Amino acid sequence: MKTSNEIWKDRLNRKLPPQLAEEIDTFETEIELRRQGKMDEVIFAETRLRRGAYGQRYDNGQRHDGKETRTLAYDTNKNTKGVNTVWDAPGMLRIKIPYGGMNIEQLEVIAELAEEYSDGIGHITTRQDFQLHFIHIDDTPTIMRRLAAVNITTREACGNSVRNITGCPYAGVCPDEKFDITPYADALTHFLLGHPDAQNFGRKVKPSFSGCAQHACGLAAMHDLAYTAETRMVDGKEQRGFCFVVGGGLGAVPFQAKVFDEFLPMEEMLPIAQAIAKVFSRHGEKKNRSKARMKFLVKQWGIDKFKEEVLAERAKLQHDPRWTEFISRVEDNVEKPLKPPSDLPSIIIGEKLNQWIKTNVRPQRQPGYSTVTVALPLGDLTADQLRSLTDILREFTTGTIRTTVEQNFVIRWISNSDIPAVYDALSRAGIGSAGACNILDIVTCPGTDTCKLGISSSRGLSAQLRKQLDEKCFKLDEAIQNLHVKVSGCFNSCGQHHIADIGFYGVNRTVNGFQVPHFQVVLGGQWENNAGSYGMPIIAIASKRIPDALDRITNYYLRLRETDESFLTFIKRIGKAAIRQELHSLTQNAPTYEQDPTYYTDWSDPREYSTGDIGRGECAGEVVSAYQFAMTDAERMVFEAQIHLDENDAQNAGNEAYAAMLKSAKAIVQMKYDDVSNDADEIVEEFRERYYDTKLFFDPFAGGKFASYFFAAHDNASQAYTEESARHTIEEAQLFVEAIHACYNRLRQEGLS
């Protein structure tokens, strides 16, 4: 769309590293080939994804405007850029920021790109990347060139590849770390980027690095490959290595990573990663995307077999000098301060500054220095704010900064006496908010704003919760202030709702004949200890009532908690049933559409969430009631399965979760065949024939994956459940029930039920 693309190409190509320039030229050629119809759309889609160019909502050219679905009048003479993806539809560009490390030059280029090609906003993701939205595909090669000129690549930012390697933003300055993970994360980044053995995965691979085990910074447990710094003494000398875990992941069904090696020496970090890439390429699932993440291979084989295969592969690898070359350079790029160490002024004047210091400033390991967190609302900041940030870096540091998985920035090496001046400068730029990493600092994925998979408006809800909390946050009890809230627009957990104290993820429900955006309330997760435990959903509440739900949960905690009791301990002690009961009334007495039409819309979006098909016959209404009755039972059963699990009764938990699947499957089968019996085999058979084989159940994006959970649960119904398998069955049952709701809503809209 930009008319200056050729100018940039001429200006920059000679300045770029030849390999990068060639890669971008190749991508530009592929764009042209696809435009001319000379490249298959599926292949082109994966090609652009591997270069970070992602689709966005409405890129199929269809948009519901609150009254009806309308076609957006794009020029359809151009070819598609993927199946059902219109050429001109704006998309998103994801920019990899390895371990979140950036410099001034890079920040300034991203500011320019946000301004010239996007909507003026730079967005930090939950994996330390940057994202620019509403980008035209034709502009992407120029953007890539401008990024490459400051040593940033979008390569393998999306697609079935090794994604951005995340790392603790306090690496090198944290008082609790074993050692600085930065050079190791950097070495793995460069080693795996474009590595031939890492090009044939069935799904993405997400690595992370942590400096210690106890904090949350690296979120090790939820990564495919996670490296936590560890040391040991060998012959009187300290040896560096990592506690290395594999097969973790959030997504629809979250898995905790398993220990591959309690101490992986640094010399083995790269060859083991290469061997895993080869094993995963060879044995990982390729056809069924829903089972293709590494976590499923680890689950299927068990960690012992997985390790055995990897070590066998490792033994066969041809030696690569890069495996150890980086070790001699690990001290080369250690960050240095600009100013000498100093003390914080003994008297700090101003309530806001004091609040900000309390929440946003942390002492470094190095005396006299602190880190400063720049808290960004929803991970967003403007081009002007990015430039102001670079001015601050120039004045107070040697010019580096880190993005965080909480969608913020961390500035390091601030000499303590400069802290008030840094606060003043940030405040002048509009990015001096206090509340970093507390209840106000809500993490959220893009949700329905721009994501094709979004079900509810996670950003709309987060903005509303922030607004609500902003007025009172610092008057709340400290126990409440310290809670983490995370919001995802759907079950896929890009907002990391599983590891929040209080998480929410988007679902939909039919109320009074209309679809209404809802959020599942997720409790029991743990952010600390590198994502130490995963929460589970306890109840679905209408989106517009979630602010009330948050109030109720926090007030309930405040009222009933024991001295110094953490939220997680409180949840375990009180029990999810009691909290569900506390929230139950929020699911009752929905206003009619006439009484309050806004109840039927999402946050920041006045469009009716769905038109539904109002005015159906009485008969249909009766069927609906029967269906809803059964589905309410199914949801209750999933919840009761969780209670069994909390009580360490894995067998009953698994059985109940499976029974919930059967209940919901029967509910939807009855929409077409009322005489179906309670016999499990018959329900499965009827469901398969009427909804699976016909693809009526298929989700537009996930296909039949949720049905496969049901079929697997049925096949394994006689199994003995372990704590882990019961947990997975509960997660899968929850998703299956949600998919039944979604199927029902789709069929109602299409008039097929």
Partner 1 sequence: MQLQHVNIKMFVDGSLDVDPGKFINIFHAWIRDSALDGLLIDVADYRHVPAGPGVMLIGLEGDYNLDNTGDRWGLRYNRKAEVEGNNEDRFRQAIQATATACLLLEETLATEGPLKFSRQEFELCINDRAHAPNTSATLSACQPEIKTFVSQLLGHEDFTIDHDPAPRGLFRLTIKSAKPFDLAKLV
- List of residues contacting partner 1 (CB under 8 A): 1-4, 7-8, 11, 57-58, 63, 65-67, 70, 72-74, 88-90, 108, 111-112, 115-116, 119-121, 133-134, 136, 377-378, 380-382, 384-385, 387, 430-431, 449-450, 459-460, 463, 466-467, 604-607
CB closer to partner 1 out of 65 and 351: 65
Cα–Cα distance for residue pair 374/354, rounded to 1 Å: 15
Residues 6+ apart with CB under 8 A from 485: 439, 442, 443, 465, 500, 501, 502, 503, 504, 550
User: The tokens of 547 are what?
Assistant: 């602010």
Nearer to partner 1, 292 or 389 (CB): 389
Which is nearer to partner 1, 282 or 428 (by Cβ)?
428
CB pairs under 8 A, 24+ apart, for 345-351?
Answer: 345/417, 345/420, 348/420
- Our CB check for partner 1 shows the closer of 67 and 475 to be 67
Q: Minimal distance in Å, beta carbon 3 to partner 1?
A: 4
Minimum Å gap between C-beta 701 and partner 1 is 19
Is the CB of 14 or the CB of 67 nearer to partner 1?
67
Of 103 and 628, nearer to partner 1 (C-beta) is 103
Burial 714-727 (b: 16+ CB within 10 A, else e): beebeeebeeebbb
Q: Measured from the CB of residue 418, what is the shortest distance to partner 1 in angstroms?
A: 23
Contact of 682 with 662, CB cutoff 8 Å = no
What type of residue sits at position 34? R
Closest separation in Å from C-beta 440 to partner 1: 12
C-beta closer to partner 1: residue 63 or 358: 63
Q: Which CB atom, from 116 or from 682, has the smaller least distance to partner 1?
A: 116
For 37-53, give one letter per residue: b (16+ CB within 10 A) or e. eebeeeebbebbbbbbb
Backbone dihedral region of 376: left (phi > 0), alpha (psi from -120 to 50 degrees) or beta?
A: beta
CA 201 – CA 281 distance, rounded (Å): 5
CB of 24 to partner 1, least distance (A): 16
Cβ closest to partner 1, residue 66 vs residue 350: 66
The whole-angstrom separation of Cα 79 and Cα 692 is 32
Minimum distance of partner 1 from residue 500's CB (angstroms): 19
Rounded to whole angstroms, the Cα distance separating 554 from 521 reads 13
Question: 380 phi and psi, to 5 degrees?
Answer: -105, 145
Task: Decide if 701 contacts 633 (C-beta within 8 A).
Answer: no
Closest distance to partner 1 from the beta carbon of 377 (Å): 4
Q: Cβ distance 446 to 458 under 8 Å? A: yes
Closest approach of partner 1 to the CB of residue 362, in Å: 24
CB closer to partner 1, 57 vs 291: 57
Closest to 742 (Cα-Cα) out of 610, 637, 626: 610
Residues in a beta bridge with 362: 371
Query: Of all helices (H) and strands (E), which one includes residue 106?
Result: helix 104-117
How many Cα atoms are found within 13 Å in the side-chain-facing hemisphere of 108? 12
Q: Which is nearer to partner 1, 3 or 718 (CB)?
A: 3
Query: CA-CA distance, 42 to 56, in Å (whole number)?
Result: 16
